[in-house]
């Protein structure tokens, strides 16, 4: 599976918007500097040993490669550190990074909110005990008035196929997929030829440390296991327009969204 051809780093906002509309994602290069990444990684590693919850464990999800239970070897391996926005000032600053908010406003309009219910986490992939995530659309697990959310993936280190970088199927945010093509967990069924024709178009989004990936909630994506020797860390947040409200009494309505525009300057 080849790495994806990304638009040039000096693309204008209009070019980024056009790329996103066609492909369902866009990459921003060199957004988070080395000093901030080092500070974030030190804080995150400190939250993993000893573990500072809340957290989701690899054993909890039952994905391919995950330990069978929390009592099995590697069963206490964290998959996600939850409630990232409230964990530290550094993560809060990251979630309101001005360059990213500017692009989000270009894609969504001026009134942008961060969901505290979806993503809002630090994704970790540990050597030996990380799992693979199958092909899915995030919106199938979320309940908003309109399926128009954008997730932002901050690479705190290098991301490539060897350590489980995200894979995407460009343009699938514009497709309507029949539910019969999905399994009970809402992943693309690998036994269907029409799904394989889609999956054959997939490409790996390789990121350098400090790069940021923005992707549409309807974009099909997946990720492999970490076969490297180092833990992979990524901070992930999800945003929506202020007037695109979560449906009441659903998982998407558990915590209030945060108006992030103007959260800090410079």
Q: What CATH number corresponds to the domain at position 28?
A: 2.60.120.620
265 or 264: which leads in pLDDT: 264
Section 147-154 average pLDDT: 97
pLDDT in tens, 168-206: 999 999 999 999 999 999 999 989 999 999 999 999 999
pLDDT band at 264 (very low <50, low <70, confident <90, very high): low
Any domain includes 231? yes
How would you class 253 by CB atoms within 10 Å of its CB: exposed for 0-12, middle for 13-18, buried for 19 or more? middle
Residue 97: pLDDT over 70: yes
Percentage of residues of the chain with pLDDT beyond 90: 86
pLDDT band at 265 (very low <50, low <70, confident <90, very high): very low
Section 91-111 average pLDDT: 95
Section 257-263 average pLDDT: 83
Residue 90: pLDDT over 90: yes
**pLDDT for residue 11:** 80
Please check whether residue 137 is in contact with residue 217, taking contact to mean a CB–CB distance below 8 angstroms. Answer: yes
How would you class 46 by CB atoms within 10 Å of its CB: exposed for 0-12, middle for 13-18, buried for 19 or more? exposed
Q: CA 32, 36, 39, 41: dihedral to nearest 10 degrees?
A: 10
pLDDT in tens, 222-239: 999 999 999 999 999 999
Any domain includes 252? yes
**pLDDT for residue 65:** 87
**pLDDT for residue 10:** 72
Q: Look over the chain and give the mean of its residue pLDDT values, rounded to a whole number.
A: 93
Using alpha carbons only, give the angle 162, 166, 171 rounded to the nearest 5 degrees.
135
Residue 6: pLDDT over 80: no
The parent domain of residue 177 ranges over: 19-259
Any domain includes 13? no
pLDDT band at 2 (very low <50, low <70, confident <90, very high): low
pLDDT in tens, 126-150: 998 999 999 999 999 999 999 999 9
Any domain includes 10? no
Domain count, the chain: 1
Any domain includes 215? yes
């Amino acid at each position: 599976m080849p790495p994806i051809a990304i638009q040039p780093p000096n693309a204008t906002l209009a070019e980024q918007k056009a790329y996103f509309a066609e492909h369902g994602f866009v990459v921003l290069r060199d957004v988070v500097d080395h000093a901030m990444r080092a500070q974030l990684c030190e804080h995150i590693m400190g939250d993993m040993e000893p573990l500072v919850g809340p957290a989701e464990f690899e054993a909890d999800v039952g994905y391919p490669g995950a330990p069978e239970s929390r009592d099995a070897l590697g069963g206490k391996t964290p998959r996600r550190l939850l409630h990232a926005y409230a964990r530290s000032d550094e993560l809060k600053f990251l979630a309101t990074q001005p360059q990213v908010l500017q692009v989000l406003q270009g894609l969504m309009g001026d009134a942008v909110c961060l969901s505290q219910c979806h993503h809002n986490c630090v994704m970790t992939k540990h050597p030996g005990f990380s799992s693979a995530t199958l092909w899915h659309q995030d919106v199938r697990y979320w309940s908003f008035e309109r399926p128009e959310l954008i997730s932002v993936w901050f690479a705190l280190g290098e991301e490539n196929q060897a350590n489980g970088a995200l894979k995407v199927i460009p343009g699938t945010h514009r497709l309507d997929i029949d539910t019969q093509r999905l399994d009970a967990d809402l992943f693309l069924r690998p036994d269907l030829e029409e799904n394989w024709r889609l999956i054959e178009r997939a490409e790996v989004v390789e990121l350098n440390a400090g790069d940021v990936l923005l992707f549409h909630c309807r974009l099909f994506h997946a990720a492999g296991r970490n076969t490297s020797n180092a833990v992979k860390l990524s901070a992930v947040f999800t945003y929506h327009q202020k007037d695109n409200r979560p449906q009441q009494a659903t998982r998407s309505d558990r915590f209030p969204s945060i108006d992030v525009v103007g959260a800090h300057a410079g």
